[in-house]
Structure 1
Amino acid sequence: MQDKIQSRREFLKKMAITGSVATLAASPWLSAFAQSSTAGKNASDRVRLAVIGTGSRGKQLLRLLFEITESSNLEIAALCDVYQPNLQETKKMCKEQNMNPVLYNNYEDLLNKEKVDGVIIATPLHQHAHIAIDAMLAGIHVFCEKSMARTLDTTKAMYDAHKATGKILQIGHQRLFNPVYLEGMQRIHNGELGKLGQIRAYWHRNNDWRRPVPDNTIEMERFINWRLYKEYSAGLLTELMSHQIQVANWALQKTPVSVTGTGSIVYWKDGREVNDNVALIYSYEDGTQFIYDSMTSNKKYGLEEQIMGHKGTIEFETNRYYTETPPPAPGILQLLNDMESGFFGKVMIGGASWVPETAVKYNGEPIIENTDFYDTALQLEGFAKFIRAGKAPESLTREGYNASIWTLLGEIAIETGEKLTLANKYKI
């Protein structure tokens, strides 16, 4: 990983020098890295962070923090988890890095006892809101994994706490820091794809999404496999789709006006409560549609976001741009040349169709050439720099909020079978 982190840094440094990716310079949240604020910290001050929630995602974030600790002048001051096996495993990970954070089983104790600048929340979804709100009220900046919260009301409460306290609330939508997406969005917003007519996205897997449970109790099953139960998660929607509706909103620079959807449990009939396949249509005020589907019993198509305009298409996950006027295939080109030179003579009007209207095989071109980076590491570096500046671009928080709100409204649309709009009290 260290080699890849270093390669990513060199790549971004090169882009900053050459200007080959204009969005990295123009993006409001990246340009904010250089800002300072009396509410922030001096460049030489160490940023002290705590990680709350040390499960699979928390461990991955911790590994990335290890890689940027020195370059971003960070200290991992504390770890917190109610589940001892996870906490002890992360303690061991830190010890291997010669780090000795204080361990807590209760996040309130951590907030009260540790003088940290920021917390990283990677707990199950239903625990996000109260932890984030308590942290901001305690004067601590927050990085919270997506989605923001389990309900519309608790999501809005998180946003309101951010506005009331002035503390950073950064949500884990790492694509906002991904150079492929930054460059692609620059092209989209500059009109290179023309008028956007439709956005399609999907996320397909083939696994049961279950994790081993150390005993056979119902309580432990729900604790470990919280993603499968509606009390704690909206399943495919909050865990996966929330990323992709954020991309759609970003591309269109607006939020939907309505959503309709359907879903069911068609394959994994194992006691889970969340759907194993979903399909939704989000409509925007100009008539553009965001069409989404996700499933967990077939992985052939993987995941993708397809942004389609009358001049071209961008597929972000595979880093491809396709123009609507690709170069003609060599065989067709020769045929056209032969026609122009009169080789074929006259073609009868009523004759057979000799040029079939089939798709031209065209592999497109990369959006950017080098993709050797971790966008989540870039996002964590951003969080540290925002803390040092004392503020973060409000657009980041709004992206996370709108993605979360419309994800949850999509869940309600599936459950009710109705076409839904967003109540005014949730609009920001």
Structure 2
Amino acid sequence: MDKSSRRFFLKKATLGSAALSSAPMVFASPYKEKILLTRAYENAHYAVNDQINLALIGCGIQGIYDTQSALRVDGVKLVAVCDLYTGRLDRSKELWGDAFFTTRDYREILGRSEIDAVIIATPDHWHKQIAVNALKAGKHVYCEKPMVQRYDEGQAIIDAQKASGKLCQIGSQSMSSLGNEKAKQLYEEGAIGDIVMLDFYNDRYSAEGAWQYPIPPDANPQTVDFDTFLGTAPKVPYENKRFFRWRNYKDYGTGVAGDLFVHAFSTLNYIVSSYGPNRAQATGGLRFWKDGRDVPDVSITLYDYPKTDTHAAFNAAFRINFIAGSGGGSGFKLVGTEGEMEIGQNAVTLRRSKLDLVPDGYSMIAYTKATQEKIREEYAAKNLESRASSLSTGETTWQAPNDYKGAHYDHFHKFFQAIREQDTIIEDPTFGLRAAGAALLANESYYGEKPVNWDPKAMRLI
């Protein structure tokens, strides 16, 4: 951040949060406080003819959670559901009644004129084809992350969206959260100075967390359209695990990079207004969940971000462990030259510490007492540690209220408001490709066993 932004933040900090909203109250050192975040929603009531008719393509775990959040938004009606397993179609009726169309062929969804928008929550290898076809059919698209299975598929979605004039929002739901919004504001005001690194990790310690999802007892070639599921993937004999645990196979999914890294890249690129990294180096392996999967359950990737107009050059460390004996946990922390932010969907904690520039007892022990005194006098004359630097230290947490509707709701709310031309898309296909492309560099490096270089503006490998 430039010097004027830092001075602005420090000035606000010394005035206190009662005077200016985003800065912490600092009258003594150190401070510690909590501030409540707020979100205002319009009170809207829509007639039947004004409703947005929604269809779900892919009624699995994420598809159901997506639809539940979408239907909480005023003026949205579910009119169709598609899935390749008949049991999920039955489940959709348990959840939302019988007043909608169901099918195992997504093309029948796109052919229905009453449908305004679709949620695409299929396995990753189907995202590009269905998104392009949906946009060409005149539907607004909410496509789950990662936007594409391979980075070279992204331009087709970008082109289809522009040609169609319809909206396409990528579903990294934490993007629209109160936490992200506050973190972006704080960063732009210079709260952490120049960014130095990102530290992201996600530890899991359960079979479910490692994608060993349950397989229904009635799963068989009659209830599952396995040939359609395979799509452009290599043809293999019917196998329940490949259909119901598709994330475990690189033929259909994108591993931990596409499932988890992409969330972090969406948030990171949004907060610091970045196009993304230009280099990645990955390592890891399959350490425990040796159940036939061909993707690692431990992954560590280091990314380099180049200097731009919005951020200094910095490094990012991404770590996933699906066999974390600690019991699990996660974190997302931006570390800067003057502070750090720990960021979640519902909260942001800013910590600012005083940088010690004057030598203390550790290094002074090597000198005589007379020399020590001279050194202290020399440093005192430089006045390296001002009163202002001491007053701007401490911790502030901005917390969402208990009745906050949540980041997932906010992401769909923004999508539907954009359809009504009352808001704008926060994660369009270009943004989605930059996030997915950066995440997928981990796979390029891991399977290629070498570092990879990326052009974040052109969104292609170098």
TM normalised by structure 2 equals 0.71
1:365 maps to 396
> Contact (CA 8 Å) 1:261, 1:278: kept in 2 or not?
yes
Counterpart of 2:343 (choices 316, 319, 322) is 316
One-letter amino acid of the structure 1 residue matched with residue 70 of structure 2 = L
SS of aligned partner of 1:144: strand
| Displacement after TM superposition at 1:21 (Å) | 7.1
One-letter amino acid of the structure 1 residue matched with residue 316 of structure 2 = F
2:268 maps to 248
2:31 maps to none
Q: Deviations over 1:20-65 (max 9, x none)?
A: 579xxxxxxx99x99xxxxxx9997211111111111111122223
Q: How does 1:245-394 map to 2 (within 5 A)?
A: 245-254=265-274, 255-286=276-307, 287-298=313-324, 300=327, 302-317=329-344, 319-325=348-354, 364-368=395-399, 370=401, 372-389=404-421, 392-393=424-425
| Displacement after TM superposition at 1:350 (Å) | 11
Change in Cα spacing, 1:43 to 1:379, as seen in structure 2 (3 Å) is farther
Counterpart of 1:60 (choices 65, 77, 86) is 65
Mapped partners of 2:47, 2:107: distance in 1: 28
Change in Cα spacing, 1:21 to 1:322, as seen in structure 2 (3 Å) is closer
> Contact (CA 8 Å) 2:249, 2:293: kept in 1 or not?
yes
Q: How does 1:101-120 map to 2 (within 5 A)?
A: 101-120=100-119
Q: Deviations over 1:355-392 (max 9, x none)?
A: xxxxxxx9932123526331101111111111111984
| Displacement after TM superposition at 1:427 (Å) | 5.2
Mapped partners of 1:114, 1:92: distance in 2: 25
Change in Cα spacing, 1:292 to 1:377, as seen in structure 2 (3 Å) is same
Q: Deviations over 1:67-110 (max 9, x none)?
A: 22xxx211111111111111111112112xxx611112111011
The farther-off stretch of 154-163 and 279-288 is 154-163
TM normalised by structure 1 equals 0.77
Q: How does 1:17-416 map to 2 (within 5 A)?
A: 45-68=50-73, 72-95=74-97, 100-208=99-207, 209-214=211-216, 219-254=239-274, 255-286=276-307, 287-298=313-324, 300=327, 302-317=329-344, 319-325=348-354, 364-368=395-399, 370=401, 372-389=404-421, 392-393=424-425, 396-416=428-448
SS of aligned partner of 2:64: helix
| Displacement after TM superposition at 1:278 (Å) | 0.6
Change in Cα spacing, 1:390 to 1:363, as seen in structure 2 (3 Å) is closer
One-letter amino acid of the structure 1 residue matched with residue 350 of structure 2 = Y
Mapped partners of 2:71, 2:161: distance in 1: 27
Mapped partners of 1:19, 1:116: distance in 2: 45
One-letter amino acid of the structure 1 residue matched with residue 337 of structure 2 = H
Mapped partners of 1:188, 1:405: distance in 2: 24
1:329 maps to none
> Contact (CA 8 Å) 1:184, 1:367: kept in 2 or not?
no
SS of aligned partner of 1:405: helix
Stretches of structure 1 lacking an aligned partner (at least 5 in a row): 1-17, 23-29, 35-40, 327-347, 352-361
> Contact (CA 8 Å) 1:43, 1:388: kept in 2 or not?
no
| Displacement after TM superposition at 1:206 (Å) | 1.0
SS of aligned partner of 1:212: coil
Change in Cα spacing, 1:85 to 1:369, as seen in structure 2 (3 Å) is closer
Number of residue pairs the alignment of both structures matches: 361
